[in-house]
Amino acid sequence: MGHVLALTDHDVIDLSIDQASRPERGVVLEPFAFPRPPNFTEQRTTLIDDHTGSTLVYDRARASDHGCR
């Protein structure tokens, strides 16, 4: 299973975050976008979803990773 993010100059769009939902544990995630942090592809980024209380960690997203091979 893969996870895909769309990166623009200003935003990160996560359309597949719902794969991480665990309704039986009260974790229901929906696709969303957030402002792209500086150096997003070079460092770990942690977000806390105020709605669900979930912590999302994007570990050095790799713009050069073009999917499974």
**pLDDT tens by residue, the chain, 69 residues:** 567 889 899 999 999 989 888 899 888 888 989 999 888 888 888 887 666 677 888 877 555 655 544
Q: Can you say how many angstroms the Cα of residue 10 is from the centroid of all Cα atoms in its chain?
A: 15
Distance in angstroms (rounded) separating the CA atoms of residues 69 and 24: 32
pLDDT of residue 35: 92
pLDDT of residue 13: 93
pLDDT of residue 66: 56
Specify whether the CB–CB gap between 19 and 11 falls below 8 A. Answer: no
pLDDT of residue 68: 46
pLDDT of residue 8: 92
Cβ neighbors of 57 (< 8 A, separation 6 or more) are: 44, 45, 46, 47
